[in-house]
Amino acid sequence: MVSCKIKTVILLVGMMPLGARVFAQPDSTFDSNARRSALETCLILGKIIPHDDTLNQLVNRNIKATEIQYSFKKSGRVIPYHQGLSLVIADLGNHDHLGYAFGVIPNVSITTNTKNRVMVNLRLGLGAAWVTKKFSFASNIENVAISTNLNIMASLNANLQIRITEKSKIYLGLNALHLSNGGFKKPNYGLNMLGASGGFSIAFSNKRECKVPKKSSDDLQIETWPQIKLYVGMGVKETGDAGGPKYFPVSLQIAAARRVAKFVALGFGVDIAHDGSSKFQIEQSNEVYTSPNDAFQVGASIYAELPLNRFSVFARQGFYLYNANPDLPFGYQNIGFSYRIGHRVAIFISLKSHLNNADHIYAGLALSI
C-alpha cells in the first residue's frame, strides 16, 4: 500500500507543471536578458549501474524517479547561468533492500544558444537524500551500498531543450545520479544510476534586466587569471568493516590555473593530506607502519574549474607521488563546489574518491592569491 502511494506521488509531482502551463500568462516578447525564473519537472527511467559484483544482487528492476526544479537566472560576469533547487523522489527498483530516495539538490546550470529554438543545457548538483532502507546486520545485510539513511546525492544532467512558446520548453536528456555517505560509515559501495528523462518547463520573468554588474577594483583583482588557490579542509571517514574506527583526514591543496575559455579554467596542483587511517590499513596488511611519514599522502593533479561569479565547480584528477596505504590505487579524484564569501575567501565542500569508491567528504576554506 505504501509503495503504491509513493508511485502515485511520483507520477503526480511529475505532472505538476502541466497544470501550471494552463494558468501561465503568454509572454509576447522573449528577452534573454530578463531576470527569469523557471519551474520544471521531468520523469526519469533508468538503471543502477553496478560498479562491483557485490552490488548485482541489489539490481532488480529499473529505477523510476521524478524531479521538480525551481531555478532563477544569475548575472555571472563571465556568462549568465542559473541557480536552482531540485526535489527528487526515486523508486530505487528494490523495495526490500533499497526502498526509496527523497533528495534535495542545489545546482547550477548553463544553457547554450539561449536565443535559438533548440538549446543544450548542462546542470551539476550536489545535495542530500534520505534513503528509506539501509544496511543492517539484523534485517538488511544484503544492502552493502547504503549504510545510513542520510546520504549525499550528486547529479549530472545533460538536456536538449526545445522552445514551444515564449515561456515553455520541452526537453529530453540523460541523467546521472550518485548516492553514498562519502565513507562516513561502512559498508558504503554507493549507488550509481543512469537514466533517460523527458520533461517540461515554464518560465516566469519580471521587468528587470539581468545586467552584468560593474567590476570593482577588488573584483578585477580576484578574477585575474592565472590564479593560485589554496584549499584547506578536513573530513571524516570510517575504515575497515562496518563499525570500524573513524578518522579525520586533513588536506592542503594548491592549484594554479588560467582561463582557457569563457567559463573554463585549467591548471595543475599539488595535494598534501594527513590520513590516520593509513596506519589501520597498513597493519591490516601485515606490513610495518612508520610514524608519522606513512600517514601522509602527496600527489600531483590536473585541475579544472567552472567559475560562475561567486559560485564555482571544481574537479581534480590526481596521481599519488607518495602513498604508503597498500589498499589505494595510483590515482584519485576530487569534485566539489565553492562559494566566495569575501574578496579572497570561499567556503567549499568536496568528495575524494578512488575510481568508483568514495573515500571521504571534506569541507573547508579556499583562499585566492
Query: Which of the two residues, 60 and 104, has the higher pLDDT score?
Result: 104
Strand segments (E) across 7-143: 34-48, 63-74, 81-91, 100-112, 118-131
Q: Report cis status (omega within 30 of 0) of the bond before 226.
A: yes
Q: Is 8 exposed, middle or buried (0-12, 13-18, 19+ CB in 10 A)?
A: exposed
Domain edges within the chain: 2-209, 217-368
What is residue 225's predicted lDDT score, i.e. its pLDDT?
60
Closest to 42 measured CA to CA, from 61, 63, 68: 68
Report residue 3's pLDDT band, with 50, 70 and 90 as the boundaries. low
Mean pLDDT of all residues belonging to the chain: 84
Q: What does the pLDDT look like over 257-281, one tens digit per residue? A: 998 877 789 999 999 999 998 888 8
What is residue 300's predicted lDDT score, i.e. its pLDDT?
98
Closest to 250 measured CA to CA, from 358, 356, 365: 365
CATH number among 3.40.50, 2.40.160, 1.10.10, 2.60.40, domain 217-368? 2.40.160
Mean pLDDT of 170-191: 92
Between 16-23 and 2-14, two packed helices, what is the crossing angle to 10 degrees? 30
Domain 217-368 in the same topology as domain 2-209: yes
Q: Does domain 2-209 have CATH number 2.40.160.20?
A: yes
The residues, any chain, with a CB within 8 Å of residue 53's CB and separated by 6 or more, are none
Q: Is 180 exposed, middle or buried (0-12, 13-18, 19+ CB in 10 A)?
A: buried
> What is the DSSP pairing of strand 357-368 with strand 345-354?
antiparallel
